[in-house]
Amino acid sequence: MIVPFAFLEKFILVEIALVVFIIILAYALKYYFYRKANHDKRISNQIQESIVSAVVSQSYPSEATFPKSWKRLDIILPLFFKLDSTIDSPHWPEMKTTMARTILLPVARKKFDSRRWMNRLYSAQCFELAMEDQDEAIISFLLEDKIPLVHLHAAIAAIRFSSASLINLVINVMAKKRRLSQTVYLKVFDLAAPHSQQFIIDRLNTENDPFIRATCYKILLNFKDKLPAIDTTNDINSNNMELRLAAIRYTAFADKRHAVPLLVSLLSDTRWEVRAASNRLLGELNATQAIDEISHCLKDQVWWVRVNAANTLKSFGEIGIKVLNEQDPSVDLYAYETAMHVLNKPLT
Amino acid sequence: MAFDWISFVFYMNITIIWYFLFVNLFYIMLLFTSIPDILTKFKETAIGDIDYFVGTAAMPPVSVLLPAYNEEGDIINTIESLLLSTYKNLQIFVINDGSSDDTMQKLHDNFELARTFPIISQKIKAVAKINNYYTSRKYPNLTIIDKEHTGKSDSLNIGINACSTPLFISIDADTVVEPEAISRLVFSLLSKPHTVAEGGAVYILNGCDYKDGRILRRRMSLLPLVSMQACEYLRAFLFGRTGWKPFNGPLILSGAITLFERQAVIDVGGYLKGSPGEDMEIIVNLHEYMRKHEYPYRIGYNFSAVAWTHVPTNMNELWGQRDRWHRGLIDSLLHHKKIFFNPKYGATGLVSYPFQVLAEFLGPMVEFTGYIAVIVAMYYNIINWHFAVLLFIASWGFATLITLGTTLISLISFNKYDSFKDIFILFLVVIFESFGYRQIMSLCRVIATLRYFLKKLIPF
C-alpha cells in the first residue's frame, strides 16, 4: 500500500497533538500577557500617583528619587500623553519637560540604537519632549532609520528643536523620501519655530542639488503667512521638472502681484507638465482675468493640460462654465470633449 | 488492451490522498509561520492606547473610500462608525454607485449635504459619469460622490481620483469599523518599511447588537449558516493571512477593510474594471508590479484592526457570494498567469501563486473527484470501510482540527467573542462544518469554475 494504515493513524495522532499544543500555548500566552499587563498597569498607576502629588506640591521628581523599575519609556510616555488631557495645572508642561530632561533622556540616549524598533521609537519620542545640543547626533541617526514611524518621530523632534543643523538634516532626508513621507514631513514643519524659515532660505542660497532646492520651496510654502520674495527665475527655467514645478508654485503664492503674468506666459511653455501646472495654479489663484488664455489651453494637444484648463474654468463658476458650454465640436473636438467631461455632460 | 478501471480508480485515490497530505502539510507550515506575527500582535494589542503613536495631526492624512450600491439599510451606520474613528486625519468619501433604492435620500437626511464643484483628477481611468458631488455641512470631512452605476471597481477608481491623500482605505458599505481600527492599520503600515497595503480582520456583524456606528454587544449568530461563516472568517483571517508573511504577504486582503498607499495603486492602474473579485485582483496586481520592477515592498496584515460586516443569511445569497468570489479568484489567477512558477517573481511566483492554484482553484474539484473516487473504490473493494474512515479523519478531519486550534487562538487572545455560549456554538460549528456545509461550498465552487470557463468558451 502506497499510503499505509499505520502512517494515516500516526498522521491523525500528530494532528491531535498539534491542536492540543496550540490550545495550551494560547492559554499560556494569554496568562503571560495578562500578568504582564497587570504588572505594567500597577507601575503606571504608581507613577501617575507620584506625578499628580508632585504637581500639587510642585516638588519635581528627580532622577535620584525616581525608582529604577519606573524608568520604563513604554509606560511613562503613554502616561504623559494621558496626563496631558487630565492634568489641568499650569505647572504640568514645565514639570513634564523637566522630567523628560532628567529622567527620560538618559534612558533614551541608551536605547536609540536598540535592535528593537519599538525602543528606537520610544527614544525618538523622548526627544520630542526635550533635547540638548549633544543629542543632535542621535537624532541624525534616528532620521535615517528604516522604520517610517521612527524617522517620522525623529523628524518631529528635529523640527521642534529647530536648530540650523537639524533643519538642514531633515531637508536632506526629506528630499530622498517617497511622497508618503514627504507629505508627513511637510505637515510636521507646521511645528517649526518661525526663525527656522531663515535656515531654509540660507540653504536655498547655497544648495545646487535640484531635488533639495525643490524640497526647500515646498517647505517654505508651509510658512504661509510670510513668504519671502526669492529670485526663482533660474529654477523656473531649470531642466529638472521637480524643481521647475516647485519654484513655479512657490512664486505663484509668494509673489501674487507678478504671478498671473508669469503663469500666463508659462501656458505656452514647451513642457506639458508646466502648462498643466500653470493652468491649475491660475485656478487656485482665481485668476479670472486670464480666462481667454486658459480657454485657449482647452485645445492643447496634451489631455492633462486640457483637463486642468477645463477644471480651472469650472472652478471660476458661471463665467468659466459659460466658456465650457460654448465649446463647439465642429471647431475643436478635443476642446469640446474635455469641456463636456468636466461638466459631466454627455457628448452629442 | 482493455482499460484497467480498477488500477485507474486505485491510483486516483492514491493521488488524491497525497494531494490532501501535501496541501494540509502546507497549512501546518502556514500555521507555524503565523506564530511570530501572532506573538507580535499579542504585544501590540496589549498597548492600551494606540493613538499615542499615531494620534498626532502630523500623521499622514487618510481617505476612506466607501463604495455603496443599494445600501440604504447599512450605509448610515457604516459612516457613523467611521466618524467615531480615533484617527485624527481622516477624510471620508462615499461613492454612491447609482443606487436605485433610498441610499442617496438617507445620506441627504442624515448629513445635510450641500452641492459643490468636483475637482477630480484622472490619474486612473474611470468611466462613470458623475451626477453630483456633495460635502456635508455637519461633518466637513465627509464627501459624497453620486455617480452612475458602473460597479465597485470603477467606484473605487473614482474615489482614488477624488482623494489627494497619500493613503486610502477601502471599506465595504455594510461594515462597522472599530474606532481604533484605522489607527492600528496606519500604525502597522508605518512600522515596517516599504508597505504598500495593510489588511484588517473581518468579523461577522449578524447577531451583534449595534447602534449609531457602535458595537454594543458582540455575539455569535444562532443561525447555523451564519455561525459556519463566522468560523470560516476566523480561520481565514488568522493564520490564512498571517502565515503568508515570509512570502511577501498574502495574495488576498479583504475588500471590507484594507489600507493602501495611493501612489502604488495609481502605478498599477487602479482597480481592474469588471473584475468579479477586485479585492484579490488589486493585491495580486501590486505583487506583480513590485516584483516586476524589483521595488522593495511589503503587503501586510493586522488582525487587531477589526471591522464587522454582514454576511448572507440564506443559502441563495451565500451561493451567489461564493460563486462571485471563486470567479474572482480564477479571473485574477488567469490575469496574472505569467507569475506562475516564474522565479522572477520570487516567493510570490514560486510559492504563493502556485499554492493558490493548487489549493484554492483546484482544491474544490479535487475534493469532489475524491468523493466520487472513494465511493467507486469502495464499490470495487479497492479500499475498505476502515481505510475510508481513516482517510476522512486525516483529510477533512484535519481541516476541522486546524480550525479548532486557530479559532481558540482567536477566542483566547483577542476576546472578540467572550461569552461561553458563543464559544460553545463555535465548537459545535467546527465539528459539524465538515458534514454538509463544506461539501455544498465545494460544489458551489466547482459549478462556479465550470460556469466561468463555459462563459469564456461560449460568451452569452
DSSP result, A180-202: HHHHHHHHHGGGS-TTHHHHHHH
pLDDT digits (tens, 9 = 90+) for A126-154: 999 999 989 999 999 999 999 988 998 99
How far is the C-alpha of A95 from the C-alpha of A89, rounded, in Å?
Answer: 10
How far does A206 lie from chain B, in Å, by closest CA?
29
pLDDT per residue over B13-30, tens digit each? 888 888 887 887 888 788
The Cα A40–Cα A49 span in angstroms is 14
- The reported pLDDT for the residue numbered B386 is 79
Q: Give the whole-angstrom CA distance, residue A295 versus residue B341.
A: 53
Q: Which residue has the higher pLDDT, A298 or B119?
A: A298
Q: Which residues contact B186 (CB under 8 A, 6 or more apart)?
A: B54, B59, B60, B62, B87, B167, B259
Give which of B61, B45, B52 is closest to B93, Cα–Cα.
B61
User: Do A78 and B52 lie within an 8 Å CB cutoff?
Assistant: yes
Q: In the structure grid, which three cell numbers stand for residue B432, read together?
A: 459539524
- Report the C-alpha gap between B259 and A58 in whole angstroms: 46
Residue written as grid cell 482553484? B361
Give B430's pLDDT tier (boundaries 50, 70, 90): confident
Single-letter residue type at B317: E
Question: Which pLDDT score is estimated for A51?
Answer: 87
Specify the pairing of strand B298-309 against strand B209-211. unpaired
For chain A, the average pLDDT equals 87
In the Cβ-directed half-sphere of B448, how many Cα atoms lie within 13 Å?
A: 26
Residues of B in Cβ contact (< 8 Å) with A15: 394, 397-398, 401-402
Rg (CA), chain B: 23
Grid coordinates standing for A81?
500623553
Q: What's residue A23's pLDDT?
A: 73
pLDDT tier, A1 (very low <50, low <70, confident <90, very high otherwise): very low
Q: How are the residues of chain A apportioned to helix, strand and coil, as percentages rounded to the nearest 5?
A: 75, 0, 25
Q: Which helix (H) or strand (E) holds A154?
A: helix A148-161
Q: Do B166 and A180 touch (CB under 8 A)?
A: yes
Is residue B87 within 8 Å of B138, Cβ to Cβ?
no
| CA distance linking residue B383 with residue B123, whole number of Å | 61
Joined grid coordinates for residue B363: 482544491
Q: Measuring CA to CA, which residue among B364, B414, B398 is closest to residue B238?
A: B414
Rounded CA-CA distance A303/A333 in Å is 12
The dihedral through the CA atoms of B186, B187, B190, B194 has a sign that is: negative
Q: How far is B235 from chain A (nearest CA, A)?
A: 14
Longest dimension (CA), chain B: 82
Mutation target to probe the A interface, by most A beta carbons within 10 A, among B56, B235, B293 is: B56
Question: Do A344 and B129 lie within an 8 Å CB cutoff?
Answer: yes
Interchain pair A5, B390: CB under 8 A:
yes
* Residue B384 bridge partners (DSSP): none
CA B431 distance to own-chain centroid: 24
What residues 10-39 of chain A have any CB closer than 8 A to a CB of chain B? 11-12, 15-16, 18-19, 22-23, 26-27, 29-30, 33, 36-37
pLDDT of residue B408 exceeding 70: no
CB contact under 8 A, B263 and A178: yes
Question: What is the 8-class DSSP label of residue A169?
Answer: H
Q: Which of A292-296, B54-58, B416-420 has the lowest mean pLDDT?
A: B54-58
Residue-wise pLDDT tens digits, A238-272: 999 999 999 999 999 988 778 899 999 999 999 99
Q: What is the pLDDT of residues A154-213, one digit of tens each?
A: 999 999 888 999 999 999 988 888 777 788 888 888 888 888 899 999 999 899 999 999
Other Cβ atoms within 10 Å of B385 Cβ, number: 8
DSSP B26-48: HHHHHHHHHHHHHHHHHHHHH-S
Averaged pLDDT of chain B: 86
Question: Higher-confidence residue: A3 or B121?
Answer: B121
pLDDT at B38 over 80: no
Q: Nearest residue on chain A to B402, judged by CA atoms?
A: A19
Mean pLDDT of B329-335: 93
pLDDT digits (tens, 9 = 90+) for B211-240: 999 999 888 888 999 999 988 888 777 767
User: What is the chain B residue with the closest CA to A76?
Assistant: B52
CA A283, CA B449: separation in Å to the nearest integer? Answer: 52
Partner B contacted by A4 (CB < 8 A): no
Is B198:B300 a contact under the CB 8 Å cutoff?
yes
Amino acid at residue number A5:
F
Residues 141-170 of B with CB under 8 A from A: 165-167
Q: A209 with A246: CB under 8 angstroms?
A: no
pLDDT band for position B196 (50/70/90)? Answer: very high
What pLDDT does A188 receive? 84
pLDDT digits (tens, 9 = 90+) for A211-227: 999 999 999 988 877 78
Q: pLDDT digit string (tens) for A50-96?
A: 888 888 887 777 777 778 888 888 888 888 888 888 888 888 888 88
* Tens-place pLDDT, residues B94-136: 999 999 999 999 999 999 998 876 667 778 887 788 888 898 9
Residues 6+ apart with CB under 8 A from A233: none
Residue A221, number of CB atoms within 10 A of its CB: 17
By the CB < 8 Å criterion, does A178 face chain B? yes
How far is it, in rounded angstroms, from Cα B224 to Cα B236? 18
Residues of A in Cβ contact (< 8 Å) with B48: 78
**Between chains, do A179 and B263 touch, taking CB under 8 Å as contact?**
yes
Q: Is B98 left (phi over 0), alpha (psi -120 to 50) or beta?
A: left
Q: What angle do CA A262, A264, A267 make, to 5 degrees?
A: 115
Pairing of strands B62-68, B167-171: parallel
Residue A87 is classified by DSSP as -
Q: Are the beta carbons of B398 and A15 separated by less than 8 Å?
A: yes
pLDDT score, position B1: 57
DSSP B234-246: HHHHTHHHHTTGG
**What is the torsion angle, in degrees rounded to the nearest 10, for the CA atoms of residue B141, residue B146, residue B152 and residue B156?**
-40
State whether B412 and A30 contact (CB < 8 Å): yes
Torsion of Cα atoms, A19 then A23 then A28 then A34, to 10°: 140
pLDDT in tens, B156-171: 999 999 998 989 999 9
Q: Could you tell me which residues are beta bridge partners of residue B260?
A: B168, B197
For residue B418, what pLDDT is reported? 67
B387 → closest Cβ in A5, A12, A26 = A5
- pLDDT tens by residue, B41-93: 766 666 556 777 776 666 788 999 999 999 999 999 999 999 999 998 899 99
Q: What's the pLDDT at B47? A: 59
Secondary structure class of B199 (helix, strand, coil): strand
Nearest CA in chain B to A35: B46
Q: Which of B173, B167, B186 is nearest to B94 (CA)?
A: B173
Q: What is the pLDDT of residue B425?
A: 83
Would the CB atoms of A22 and B405 count as touching at under 8 Å? yes
Report the DSSP pairing between strands B209-211 and B130-136. Answer: unpaired
d(CA B116, CA B164): 17
Residue B450 C-alpha, separation from nearest chain A C-alpha, in angstroms:
31
CB-based contacts of A34-37 (< 8 A; 24+ apart in sequence): A36/B46, A37/B46
Contact (CB, 8 A) for A117 and B191: yes
Residue B215 forms beta bridges with which residues?
B210
Helix (H) or strand (E) run with residue B190 in it: helix B181-190
| Contact with chain A for residue B211, Cβ under 8 A | no
> What nine digits make up the cell of A277?
501646472
- Sketch the domain layout of chain A as residue ranges: 87-161, 270-348
pLDDT tens digit string along B383-394? Answer: 777 777 777 777
Alpha-carbon distance of B45 to B181, in angstroms, equals 11
- From B386's Cα to the closest Cα of chain A, the distance in A is 9
**Residue A269 φ/ψ, nearest 5 degrees:** -65, 155
Show the cell assigned to B72. Answer: 440604504
Q: Quick one: what percent of chain B has pLDDT higher than 90?
A: 44
